[in-house]
Structure 1
């Protein structure tokens, strides 16, 4: 659902970003690739190129890093939708969103949706992080609903749910079957579907 870069060995580059930002970026990537439960703070420290002891300065627990990763997904989604909102019309915005999902098909084939997999894993816990993840998914649905509303659709909410559900479904199938072409095919179908709704 959000921007992601394909890599199995993450190395977050040093530069102007501080250690905390590098840790959060690494956490997003490593949680996506390994899952929350399999990931250790050491894995994230290595990926961020930060000494393990420094992790505890910024995050006392892995759950705090998970929360920061959810916040990072939310920020990425807002950045993405802000860029999409610069496009001239709602159908183009929606189709560009789908094209972005399709562009990530190799990542989806390997690891699934960057946010959907995290949200699914967090749903199995009872610590409240599942509700934080739900807010990110709702933000995407709300944005899609506003696009369908601008297209004059009285069923905008239902269409937004259908779009997001279609994406999550094609991500799961693409990942399960390890078939990036499946996402490309389904993405074209979604774009054609959007064209029929004008």
Structure 2
């Protein structure tokens, strides 16, 4: 099983069916918190729904157009991070993430997004990494801003969120910019 340690406390592990109970429990415990920004919570009502999601994640990985991981902090699954899409023709990757409300503010997501960005450029040879966040989701926007991503613009009414549309702010990092930042 693939697991990548970022720090002594923090690692990313390729999602697996063995994670279904932990992910479902985490989702259920954080349902109201996550529902403010994530549109899929109403589709996850039982562990089998999570298993279906994991099946899609593993298929995406097998098809080489995505990579989904669980975030493990102090030995516990605390969220997920992924390349929601890998566009090989244009050499772009799109990062997504969420964590439990209990671990917010510890720099976990920033460290994970940094690691995924570095992986996209160093291992996957991507030219661009993109992170999108709802226009009102300041916490999520702070992640790419801390990493030096460029705010590229706003996509109006980009996502239906239960009963309304939300705009997305798009942040981008080019391989040449990242190389200058990490060297």
TM-score when normalising by structure 1: 0.29
TM-score when normalising by structure 2: 0.30
Larger Rg: 1
**Higher RCO structure, 1 or 2 (CA under 8 Å, sep 6+):** 1
Q: Write 1 or 2 for the structure with the bigger share of helix.
A: 1
Q: Write 1 or 2 for the structure with the bigger share of strand.
A: 2
